[in-house]
Structure 1
Amino acid sequence: MEQLLQNKVCIITGAAQGIGKAIAEQFAADGGIVYACDRQPNSMNEWSEECSRKYVTKVIPLYFDITDTVEVKNAFMAINKKEGKIDALINNAGVVFNKKLGMIVREEMELMFKINVIAVIEMIQLAARLMARNKRGSIVNMASVTAMLGSPGQVAYSATKGAIVSVTKSAAKELAPSGIRVNAVAPGIIKTERFTELYEATGDKIDERIRRIALGRLGNPEDIANACAFLASDRSSYISGQILGVDGCASI
C-alpha cells in the first residue's frame, strides 16, 4: 500500500522534542524523507538513526537557528541540492512565555515575534522559491486555538499566533499560482513535556481545562502529527489557506 508521504522531501523545524518530534516520526512512518531540524546540536542523532532503520527511510538531523537567515538559507539550499526538491515545510518551531498582560516584558514579546512570526515568514520565502521550480509544494504553519479564542495570560503569544493565521491565508493566495499550498494547524491543549512543566510551575488546575474540551481529554502530539501529515500529502491537494483546529472541540 502506498504511504501517505512516500518519497516526499519534508523539512520539520523544532523536531527535537514534543510535537515536532512526533511530526518527524509520523512523516517517516508515512514514507517521507525527513529533515528534522533543531538548534540543539546532537540532540537528535541517535533517535534519527533509530527512525531511519525502523521506517526504512531517511531521517536526517540538521542543526541551525531558525532566526539566522544565513543558516536557514544554507540548510534549505543544501537539502534542495541533495534531493532535487523540497515537497513540504512544517514550521513547527516556536517559543511561548505565558504571562499576564501586566507582567510580560518587551524582550519576551520581541523574541516570540522573532521566532514565531518573522522566522516563519522568512522560511516560507525560501521554501517557496525552491518549491516553485517544481510548481508544487505544501507549507504547514503552527498556529494555536488561542489565536481564535483568546486565552488569559497569553496575550502576546496569542498575538504571534494570530499573525500566523494571517500569514497563512495571505501566503496561500499569493503562492497558489506556483502550485504551492499553505495551511496551518491550530492545536488546543497538547500534552507535551513543555506543557507538563508549565502547569507544574503555575499550579493551574488542568482538570478545569479538560472539562471545557468536548472530547474530554488533552490532545497528544500524535494528533497534531497526523493533521500535518494529511496537509503535507497529495490527499489534501485542493486544500489551501485553511486553519485546521486540532483541539478536541475546545472552548478554552
Structure 2
Amino acid sequence: MGFSIEGKTAIVTGAANGVGLAIARHFVDKGANVMLADMDEPRLHKECGKTDDDGNMRYFAGDLRERLTMANLLSATLDAFDRVDVLINGSRQMLPSDPLDIEDDTVPQLLEQNLMTSLRMSQLVAKRMIKQAKDQTEGQVGSIINLSSIAARRTHPELLGYSVSCAALDQMTRSMAVALAPERIRVNAVAFGSVMSASLKDTLKEHTSYRSDIEDHTPLGRIAAPRDLAETVQFLSCDGAGFVTGQILTVDGGRTLLDPVAAPAH
C-alpha cells in the first residue's frame, strides 16, 4: 500500500494561508491533484499564481457556508480532475469569547464556521465518493480529514466558542466515521496546538514572551512547523492508513500531556 498520495485528488478548504495552504502545497509536491478552496480570492491568486489547465493544482474562491458554493466547489473539482479521493476540512476560525456576555454570539458563529461547514462538505463529498466507486469492490473509497485543535480538550474561557466548536467537530468525526465505514470511507481528525504560521509569527513579534511560554509547556521543546501537520494529513490520506478511522490524532509535541491549568492559552 505505502504512503504515497500521488495521483489522488484532494480538496483542501481554508487553503489561502496557514496550515491549509501548507497542506495543499505539500500535496501538490507529492503528486496529488489539489483544489485549493477559500473565500479569500486575492490571497488564493497570490499563492497559486497562474494555474495550468494541465497541472495538478487549481483554486476555487467562495464562501463555503453557502450550500450552493459547496456544490460549485465540487463541480469545479470534478471538471478539473474527474474525481475526488480526499477531503481536508481546514476552513476554521478562532475568535475570542466572553462567557458571561449574553449578547456574545461567537459560539453559534464558530459552530457554523468550524462545525457545520465541515459537516455539510463531508456529506456532499462522501456522496460523490460513493457514486464514483460503485464498481469498486475492494480498497478504500475515500478519506475525510478534519482539522481540529487541542482546544477541544483544554479549558480556556476566553476561547469558549472555539473550544466548543472543536469539541463538536471531534465528535462529528467519530460519528461520521461509523456512518461511512460501510462505504469504506475513512473519517479522521488532526488536533494540533501552536503552529508556526504567518499569523503566529506576527503574534510572537508583538508578544516576544509567548514563544518561551509555548516551548516550555511543550515536551518536545518547539513550536510545530506547518510541515509537521501536512505530513500527518498525508498519512491519514494514503492507503497505508487504510485501517485508521474515527481517530483524533493529536499533533502537539506532547503539550496536552502536561497540566492544562498551568499552560498558556496561545
Q: TM-score surpassing 0.5?
A: yes
For 1:18, the equivalent position in structure 2 comes to: 18
Unaligned residue ranges in structure 2 (runs of 5+) = 134-140, 257-262
For 2:128, the equivalent position in structure 1 comes to: 130
User: Distance between the aligned counterparts of 1:204 and 1:104, measured in 2?
Assistant: 33
Counterpart AA for 1:76: L
Among 231, 235, 238, the alignment partner of 2:236 is 231
Q: Which has the higher mean CA deviation after the structures are superposed, 135-144 or 150-159?
A: 150-159
Distance 1:104 1:199, change over 3 A: farther
Counterpart AA for 1:102: L
For 2:259, the equivalent position in structure 1 comes to: none
Cα displacement (A) at 1:65 = 0.8
For 1:42, the equivalent position in structure 2 comes to: 42
For 1:107, the equivalent position in structure 2 comes to: 105
For 2:76, the equivalent position in structure 1 comes to: 78
Counterpart AA for 1:13: T
* 1:123-170 Cα distance to aligned partner (Å, 9 max, x none): 011000001123411000011111123334212211000001000000
For 2:189, the equivalent position in structure 1 comes to: 184
Q: Which has the higher mean CA deviation after the structures are superposed, 150-159 or 173-182?
A: 150-159
Would you say the 8 A contact 1:32–1:57 is kept in 2? no
User: Distance between the aligned counterparts of 1:231 and 1:104, measured in 2?
Assistant: 40
Would you say the 8 A contact 1:172–1:182 is kept in 2? yes
Distance 1:87 1:105, change over 3 A: farther
Unaligned residue ranges in structure 1 (runs of 5+) = none
3-state DSSP class of the match of 2:42?
coil
Work out whether 1:59 is the aligned partner of 2:57: yes
Would you say the 8 A contact 1:214–1:250 is kept in 2? yes
3-state DSSP class of the match of 1:153?
helix
Distance 1:107 1:147, change over 3 A: same
User: Distance between the aligned counterparts of 1:91 and 1:177, measured in 2?
Assistant: 21
Counterpart AA for 1:134: Q
User: Distance between the aligned counterparts of 1:154 and 1:179, measured in 2?
Assistant: 35
Among 212, 218, 239, the alignment partner of 1:207 is 212
User: Distance between the aligned counterparts of 1:204 and 1:107, measured in 2?
Assistant: 31
Query: RMSD of aligned C-alpha atoms?
Result: 2.5
3-state DSSP class of the match of 1:61?
strand
Work out whether 1:193 is the aligned partner of 2:193: no
Would you say the 8 A contact 1:12–1:89 is kept in 2? yes
For 1:33, the equivalent position in structure 2 comes to: 33
Cα displacement (A) at 1:229 = 1.0
User: Distance between the aligned counterparts of 1:133 and 1:78, measured in 2?
Assistant: 17
Q: Which has the higher mean CA deviation after the structures are superposed, 174-183 or 145-154?
A: 145-154
3-state DSSP class of the match of 1:190?
coil
User: Distance between the aligned counterparts of 1:110 and 1:216, measured in 2?
Assistant: 35
Counterpart AA for 2:70: V
Cα displacement (A) at 1:73 = 0.8
Distance 1:105 1:29, change over 3 A: farther
Among 56, 63, 69, the alignment partner of 2:67 is 69
TM-score (norm 1): 0.90
Cα displacement (A) at 1:195 = 2.4
TM-score (norm 2): 0.85
Would you say the 8 A contact 1:145–1:245 is kept in 2? yes
User: Distance between the aligned counterparts of 1:106 and 1:46, measured in 2?
Assistant: 34
User: Distance between the aligned counterparts of 1:157 and 1:203, measured in 2?
Assistant: 24
Cα displacement (A) at 1:243 = 0.6
How many corresponding residue pairs?
Answer: 249
